[in-house]
Structure 1
């Protein structure tokens, strides 16, 4: 029986310099480490599963001799990012930051309530911590706008500023002054805002990219989860890819290799809301792999998202969940933040994941440096190095897959 994987990656900063080729290379390396004297090779190609949708296919072969190769594993990638983010990517950094700020403010009351009524297994303090960091980042840039206006309006006239721009700055300043006593508070703002913002930029050199990526992720996730925007198109395309695999890979079982937001898409496919999966999904799906899944983060953000899920796949599916306790976005599916077996899964679904803990550093205590460096959010990228030759969570995952004959 052929063993086929579908690789569903994360969004934005989560997939920085990532690709299905790198993911497949990590699996190939683990095969080589476990089989001394056997040569493994990979081959990559592009296929079109519809007229305008393509997938990169990476095959891992074991060389028997100079002329014969045996297919060991094949991975298809599912490219949903363009569908989800095209509209949002055209916006500039300021607009993205304002959208991020608006989303946080909209959900902040709910996050506060979660601290006092966590709902049993939620992680309210970690969720609140992550949102606090995002709020501080967005506020830093928003507060810089009036400071920039004030500074620009006071520039020496030897600096050439177009008259229309100068007029706009003065009008904006007058408008803000009407509602806010700028003259009284600007001095105080300048005393701490510039040093704090400079500190953040020094500690986090990629902060501009991080803000842009986070804004993209949260805005698109909000529309996908809250309004179902693009969800039907994304899941429809994933169904079409599975149909292509069913037609071109007879006698095959499908494994879903998912990271970050990609795990949410896979859960939507396998455990749909008020619906049942397609026949191909029901007959072909064998394994769900979730790496750094933000399940609990989304549960705190959208508490009704997992309601009314179809449990039809719970008896035929195996689920491996890779998590790190240092990752603020990952879920350990326990009622505490400790390592150990999963205690629950998706609401109203009896299937429990087999937890796989992966850490790259010893547990750190929360301090002011870790807070401002966003260590717990940055650890969301800790599951593998940017180089496919580095160690990664795939080692632990590979052992689980091998033990249960998934590879």
Structure 2
């Protein structure tokens, strides 16, 4: 049985990126490219360990429901990656997002002027600046709210006044320099507080589901950074992926496994194909035949986490058939070239000889400063398929390439 393991992007857009939608799009391409045959899907839920489950979507011929031609298993890693951070408050998440952005900002600035094989460093600086504004405004919302709250109380309230003065001492003197008293400045913290409250309130009103969006942003960014920088939850995630592979090999006859991965999911798939610090498993060497990476942020990771792909085991990755779908307009997607142009891949994972088969998929180019300011090159990362399964997608190119390679 030819079987796909689907590893989606990191985030809460579960419906748009679900294995059911992906399988539905794949099934549609099968219908478009075959004459006289119609295919349908059916979904079931399995437990590959005692506590971990997977959705399994089978594609079968409509005239013969028992004749399954392809299966997709969903690998759910989101809760594993974020479980240590999800229970935190919005203030805590905003604070750690601010700390992380401040910590990364010097490297972001460095890569702006000294890029390392990553040609979208300007976009990264712009996005990180937005992260900085968002996190800073939310963290400063606490003392700003305190300042606003004290206006509702009398000046005789000593405790509140002392607390207010702790955050806002009023005149902040300059220190003397070489015996010269420079003087002091008077900062109107009252106006600054109102400005912060106003800005953050407008932010919440303008951005749809702002509380959820900002919370998800902080959670995903911090947890992804911890995975890439410190290997946080990596052993648990890769262990569960190995359990899923093992379940498939034991329950599917004549098993052949293909990884279908998107965005952050491609990092997990490449981690499995090119493991660090451990030998590849027998299952990986025996049953895994291909890997499909869609919008993989390989160059972004390699630029800002330069040691992540060092010292990798090249098996089984070098024996896999590797297809890489990318868009030249996507600031995160990698074309595995030394330029921004479409064309054949020029390199692969560090230290490995296997280069992907590049498959270019475009929706619309980035045009001018307005598209840049509106983060179009970031939003393109979500345009490898339409929100509905009926729309066009990159899966037409994937299906044709898999068919040519006898993978389906």
TM tier, shorter chain? 0.7 to 0.9
Query: What TM-score comes out, normalization by structure 1 length?
Result: 0.88
The answer as to 2:123 corresponding to 1:126 is yes
Q: Which runs of 5+ in 1 are unaligned?
A: 158-165
Q: What root-mean-square deviation, in Å, do the aligned CA atoms of Structure 1 and Structure 2 show?
A: 2.7
Q: Partner residue of 2:208? A: 205
The answer as to 2:144 corresponding to 1:141 is no
Cα deviation code 1:311-369 (max 9, x no counterpart): 122442111112223333222222222322222221111211222222332322233x7
| Partner SS, residue 322 of structure 2 | strand
Tell me how far apart the structure 1 counterparts of residues 340 and 170 of structure 2 sit (CA, whole Å): 45
What is the CA-CA distance between 1:69 and the residue it aligns to?
A: 4.1
Tell me how far apart the structure 2 counterparts of residues 343 and 133 of structure 1 sit (CA, whole Å): 33
Say if 1:200 and 1:402 are closer, same or farther in 2 by CA, change over 3 A.
Answer: farther
Match of 1:175 among 157, 166, 170: 166
Q: Which runs of 5+ in 2 are unaligned?
A: 173-184
Q: Partner residue of 1:398? A: 399
The answer as to 2:115 corresponding to 1:114 is no
The answer as to 2:376 corresponding to 1:375 is yes
What is the CA-CA distance between 1:198 and the residue it aligns to?
A: 6.0
Tell me how far apart the structure 1 counterparts of residues 132 and 252 of structure 2 sit (CA, whole Å): 47
What is the CA-CA distance between 1:397 and the residue it aligns to?
A: 1.7
What is the CA-CA distance between 1:61 and the residue it aligns to?
A: 0.2
Contact 2:9 2:262 in 1 (8 A): yes
Say if 1:375 and 1:208 are closer, same or farther in 2 by CA, change over 3 A.
Answer: farther
The answer as to 2:213 corresponding to 1:216 is no
| Partner SS, residue 209 of structure 1 | helix
| Partner SS, residue 366 of structure 1 | helix
Cα deviation code 1:196-227 (max 9, x no counterpart): 55665565324433222221111111222222
Q: Partner residue of 1:99? A: 96
Q: Partner residue of 2:180? A: none
The answer as to 2:83 corresponding to 1:86 is yes
Q: Partner residue of 1:235? A: 238
Q: Partner residue of 1:160? A: none
Say if 1:231 and 1:315 are closer, same or farther in 2 by CA, change over 3 A.
Answer: closer
Q: Which has the larger radius of gyration?
A: 2
The structure showing larger relative contact order (alpha-carbon pairs under 8 Å, at least 6 residues apart) is 1
| Partner SS, residue 308 of structure 2 | coil
Q: Partner residue of 1:279? A: 282
Size of the alignment, in residue pairs? Answer: 395
Contact 2:170 2:186 in 1 (8 A): no
Contact 1:133 1:374 in 2 (8 A): no
What is the CA-CA distance between 1:141 and the residue it aligns to?
A: 2.4
Tell me how far apart the structure 2 counterparts of residues 143 and 180 of structure 1 sit (CA, whole Å): 19
What is the CA-CA distance between 1:148 and the residue it aligns to?
A: 2.4
Larger relative helix fraction: 1
